[in-house]
Amino acid sequence: MNQMQIEKEIYRSITKILEEKGIQIVLTQKIPISVSARHVHLSPEHVETLFGKGYSLTYFRNISQPGQYACQEKVSIEGPRGRIDNVRILGPSRGQTQVEVSMTDARKLGLKPPVRRSGNLEGSEAVTLIAINGRKLSLSEGCIIADRHVHMTPEDASRFHVMDGDRIAVKVSGEKPGIMGNVTVRVKDTYKLDMHIDTDDGNAFLIQGSESGEIVKESW
Protein backbone atom coordinates (compact mmCIF):
# COMPACT_ATOMS: atom_id res chain seq x y z
CA MET A 1 0.00 0.00 0.00
CA ASN A 2 1.50 3.34 -1.06
CA GLN A 3 1.39 6.66 0.81
CA MET A 4 -1.68 7.91 -1.06
CA GLN A 5 -3.61 4.71 -0.31
CA ILE A 6 -2.67 4.92 3.37
CA GLU A 7 -3.81 8.56 3.58
CA LYS A 8 -7.06 7.70 1.84
CA GLU A 9 -7.83 4.82 4.21
CA ILE A 10 -7.10 7.01 7.24
CA TYR A 11 -9.38 9.72 5.83
CA ARG A 12 -12.18 7.22 5.20
CA SER A 13 -11.88 5.78 8.70
CA ILE A 14 -12.01 9.23 10.32
CA THR A 15 -14.92 10.26 8.10
CA LYS A 16 -16.89 7.11 9.00
CA ILE A 17 -16.39 7.68 12.74
CA LEU A 18 -17.48 11.34 12.47
CA GLU A 19 -20.53 10.46 10.33
CA GLU A 20 -21.62 7.93 12.96
CA LYS A 21 -21.57 10.83 15.42
CA GLY A 22 -23.60 13.00 13.06
CA ILE A 23 -20.63 15.11 11.96
CA GLN A 24 -20.04 15.56 8.23
CA ILE A 25 -16.73 16.58 6.67
CA VAL A 26 -17.14 18.99 3.76
CA LEU A 27 -14.23 19.63 1.40
CA THR A 28 -14.18 23.28 0.40
CA GLN A 29 -11.48 23.14 -2.27
CA LYS A 30 -12.94 24.15 -5.59
CA ILE A 31 -12.53 22.23 -8.85
CA PRO A 32 -12.70 24.32 -12.04
CA ILE A 33 -15.18 22.99 -14.61
CA SER A 34 -14.73 23.08 -18.39
CA VAL A 35 -17.44 22.27 -20.93
CA SER A 36 -16.08 20.12 -23.74
CA ALA A 37 -17.95 20.38 -27.04
CA ARG A 38 -17.98 17.63 -29.68
CA HIS A 39 -14.48 17.00 -31.08
CA VAL A 40 -12.22 14.49 -32.81
CA HIS A 41 -8.81 12.99 -31.99
CA LEU A 42 -7.03 11.51 -35.03
CA SER A 43 -4.29 8.92 -35.29
CA PRO A 44 -1.33 9.89 -37.54
CA GLU A 45 -2.53 7.36 -40.10
CA HIS A 46 -6.00 8.87 -40.21
CA VAL A 47 -4.61 12.42 -40.45
CA GLU A 48 -3.05 11.33 -43.74
CA THR A 49 -6.23 9.50 -44.81
CA LEU A 50 -8.26 12.70 -44.48
CA PHE A 51 -5.71 15.37 -45.43
CA GLY A 52 -3.01 13.70 -47.51
CA LYS A 53 0.33 11.94 -47.10
CA GLY A 54 2.78 13.77 -44.85
CA TYR A 55 0.15 16.22 -43.60
CA SER A 56 0.58 17.73 -40.11
CA LEU A 57 -2.25 19.19 -38.06
CA THR A 58 -2.10 22.98 -37.64
CA TYR A 59 -2.03 24.53 -34.17
CA PHE A 60 -4.93 26.91 -33.39
CA ARG A 61 -5.00 27.50 -29.62
CA ASN A 62 -4.21 25.81 -26.31
CA ILE A 63 -6.91 24.03 -24.33
CA SER A 64 -7.12 23.29 -20.61
CA GLN A 65 -4.67 20.37 -20.32
CA PRO A 66 -0.92 21.04 -20.82
CA GLY A 67 0.33 19.91 -24.22
CA GLN A 68 -3.18 19.63 -25.68
CA TYR A 69 -4.45 22.06 -28.29
CA ALA A 70 -7.25 22.77 -30.74
CA CYS A 71 -6.29 22.52 -34.42
CA GLN A 72 -7.24 24.71 -37.35
CA GLU A 73 -8.62 21.66 -39.12
CA LYS A 74 -12.26 20.64 -38.83
CA VAL A 75 -14.27 17.71 -40.15
CA SER A 76 -17.89 16.68 -40.53
CA ILE A 77 -19.32 13.77 -38.52
CA GLU A 78 -21.83 11.63 -40.40
CA GLY A 79 -24.22 9.03 -39.04
CA PRO A 80 -27.19 7.05 -40.38
CA ARG A 81 -29.66 9.90 -39.87
CA GLY A 82 -27.67 13.12 -40.02
CA ARG A 83 -24.46 15.07 -40.23
CA ILE A 84 -22.72 17.68 -38.06
CA ASP A 85 -20.26 20.02 -39.79
CA ASN A 86 -17.29 22.06 -38.52
CA VAL A 87 -16.23 19.68 -35.73
CA ARG A 88 -12.84 20.69 -34.33
CA ILE A 89 -9.87 18.31 -34.34
CA LEU A 90 -7.73 18.30 -31.19
CA GLY A 91 -4.01 17.65 -31.17
CA PRO A 92 -1.55 16.19 -30.91
CA SER A 93 -2.31 12.99 -32.82
CA ARG A 94 -3.16 9.90 -30.78
CA GLY A 95 -2.67 6.18 -31.13
CA GLN A 96 -6.36 5.68 -31.96
CA THR A 97 -8.91 7.89 -33.64
CA GLN A 98 -11.65 8.91 -31.19
CA VAL A 99 -14.84 10.88 -31.83
CA GLU A 100 -16.53 12.46 -28.78
CA VAL A 101 -20.12 13.64 -28.98
CA SER A 102 -22.98 14.41 -26.60
CA MET A 103 -26.20 12.39 -26.44
CA THR A 104 -27.98 15.26 -28.21
CA ASP A 105 -25.43 15.03 -31.02
CA ALA A 106 -25.79 11.26 -31.16
CA ARG A 107 -29.56 11.47 -31.60
CA LYS A 108 -29.15 13.93 -34.46
CA LEU A 109 -26.65 11.59 -36.13
CA GLY A 110 -28.69 8.46 -35.44
CA LEU A 111 -25.93 6.88 -33.34
CA LYS A 112 -25.90 5.03 -30.02
CA PRO A 113 -22.39 5.56 -28.63
CA PRO A 114 -21.56 4.21 -25.17
CA VAL A 115 -20.45 6.38 -22.24
CA ARG A 116 -16.75 5.59 -21.96
CA ARG A 117 -13.47 6.75 -20.52
CA SER A 118 -11.21 8.25 -23.17
CA GLY A 119 -9.25 5.55 -24.98
CA ASN A 120 -11.72 2.76 -24.16
CA LEU A 121 -12.98 2.29 -27.70
CA GLU A 122 -13.47 -1.46 -28.10
CA GLY A 123 -17.04 -2.10 -29.27
CA SER A 124 -17.86 1.62 -29.44
CA GLU A 125 -20.02 3.15 -32.17
CA ALA A 126 -19.18 3.24 -35.88
CA VAL A 127 -19.06 6.67 -37.52
CA THR A 128 -17.87 8.44 -40.67
CA LEU A 129 -15.61 11.52 -40.81
CA ILE A 130 -15.50 13.82 -43.84
CA ALA A 131 -12.76 16.38 -44.49
CA ILE A 132 -13.34 19.70 -46.26
CA ASN A 133 -11.61 18.22 -49.32
CA GLY A 134 -14.28 15.52 -49.54
CA ARG A 135 -12.12 12.66 -48.29
CA LYS A 136 -13.98 10.20 -46.06
CA LEU A 137 -12.90 7.99 -43.18
CA SER A 138 -15.33 5.25 -42.13
CA LEU A 139 -14.62 3.92 -38.63
CA SER A 140 -15.98 0.57 -37.47
CA GLU A 141 -15.64 1.85 -33.89
CA GLY A 142 -14.36 4.97 -32.14
CA CYS A 143 -17.37 7.16 -31.32
CA ILE A 144 -18.16 7.62 -27.61
CA ILE A 145 -19.89 9.89 -25.15
CA ALA A 146 -17.03 10.83 -22.83
CA ASP A 147 -17.58 10.13 -19.15
CA ARG A 148 -17.54 12.99 -16.67
CA HIS A 149 -14.02 13.20 -15.35
CA VAL A 150 -11.57 15.29 -13.34
CA HIS A 151 -7.91 15.70 -14.27
CA MET A 152 -5.63 15.96 -11.21
CA THR A 153 -1.97 15.93 -10.30
CA PRO A 154 -0.87 13.46 -7.59
CA GLU A 155 -0.69 16.43 -5.19
CA ASP A 156 -4.32 17.35 -6.00
CA ALA A 157 -5.38 13.74 -5.47
CA SER A 158 -3.71 13.65 -2.06
CA ARG A 159 -5.43 16.90 -1.10
CA PHE A 160 -8.84 15.59 -2.13
CA HIS A 161 -8.18 12.11 -0.68
CA VAL A 162 -8.88 10.32 -3.95
CA MET A 163 -6.96 8.04 -6.31
CA ASP A 164 -6.75 7.46 -10.04
CA GLY A 165 -9.85 5.60 -11.22
CA ASP A 166 -12.03 6.59 -8.24
CA ARG A 167 -15.60 7.68 -8.91
CA ILE A 168 -16.78 10.80 -7.10
CA ALA A 169 -19.76 13.17 -6.99
CA VAL A 170 -19.29 16.89 -7.59
CA LYS A 171 -21.69 19.61 -6.43
CA VAL A 172 -22.26 22.73 -8.52
CA SER A 173 -24.01 25.93 -7.46
CA GLY A 174 -25.74 28.67 -9.44
CA GLU A 175 -29.24 29.17 -10.85
CA LYS A 176 -29.62 25.44 -11.54
CA PRO A 177 -27.52 23.78 -8.82
CA GLY A 178 -27.14 20.06 -8.44
CA ILE A 179 -24.82 17.10 -8.04
CA MET A 180 -23.09 15.28 -10.86
CA GLY A 181 -22.31 11.69 -9.96
CA ASN A 182 -20.13 9.00 -11.50
CA VAL A 183 -17.24 11.41 -12.13
CA THR A 184 -14.01 9.56 -12.90
CA VAL A 185 -10.78 10.74 -11.27
CA ARG A 186 -7.75 10.76 -13.57
CA VAL A 187 -4.37 11.35 -11.95
CA LYS A 188 -1.09 12.16 -13.72
CA ASP A 189 1.76 14.52 -12.88
CA THR A 190 1.37 16.28 -16.24
CA TYR A 191 -2.31 17.11 -15.70
CA LYS A 192 -3.83 20.40 -14.59
CA LEU A 193 -6.77 20.37 -12.14
CA ASP A 194 -9.92 20.57 -14.25
CA MET A 195 -13.27 18.78 -14.51
CA HIS A 196 -14.53 18.01 -18.01
CA ILE A 197 -18.21 17.64 -18.86
CA ASP A 198 -20.00 17.63 -22.21
CA THR A 199 -22.43 20.23 -23.55
CA ASP A 200 -25.50 18.32 -22.36
CA ASP A 201 -24.28 18.47 -18.75
CA GLY A 202 -23.19 22.07 -19.23
CA ASN A 203 -26.64 23.09 -20.45
CA ALA A 204 -28.44 21.12 -17.74
CA PHE A 205 -26.55 22.95 -14.97
CA LEU A 206 -26.23 26.29 -16.85
CA ILE A 207 -22.44 25.99 -16.81
CA GLN A 208 -20.63 28.28 -19.24
CA GLY A 209 -17.11 27.05 -18.54
CA SER A 210 -15.87 29.40 -15.80
CA GLU A 211 -17.70 27.80 -12.86
CA SER A 212 -16.32 25.44 -10.22
CA GLY A 213 -17.59 22.56 -8.12
CA GLU A 214 -16.66 20.69 -4.96
CA ILE A 215 -16.47 17.03 -4.07
CA VAL A 216 -19.38 15.99 -1.89
CA LYS A 217 -19.12 12.22 -2.07
CA GLU A 218 -16.21 9.86 -2.64
CA SER A 219 -18.13 7.21 -4.54
CA TRP A 220 -21.33 6.92 -6.49
What pLDDT tens digit does each residue of the chain (220 aa) get?
A: 665 556 556 656 666 675 676 655 555 578 999 999 999 999 999 999 999 999 999 999 999 999 999 999 999 999 999 999 999 999 999 999 999 999 999 999 999 999 999 999 999 999 999 999 999 999 999 999 999 999 999 999 999 999 999 999 999 999 999 999 999 999 999 999 999 999 999 999 999 877 999 998 765 5
Same domain assignment for residues 111 and 211 = no
- Provide the β-strand partners of residue 83: 78
How many domains does the structure of the chain reveal? 2
Contact in structure between 150 and 186 (CB atoms under 8 Å): yes
Same domain assignment for residues 132 and 174 = no
Confirm whether 5 is domain-assigned. no
Same domain assignment for residues 122 and 85 = yes
Last residue of a domain, one of 146, 175, 204: 146
Same domain assignment for residues 29 and 123 = no
Residue 192 belongs to domain with CATH number: 2.40.40.20
Q: What does the DSSP assignment read for 116-155?
A: E-TT--TT-EEEEEEETTS-EEEEEEEEEEEPPEEEE-HH
Distance CA 150, CA 152 (A): 6
Contact in structure between 163 and 5 (CB atoms under 8 Å): yes
The residue segments making up the domain with residue 61 are 38-146
Distance CA 31, CA 180 (A): 13
Confirm whether 3 is domain-assigned. no
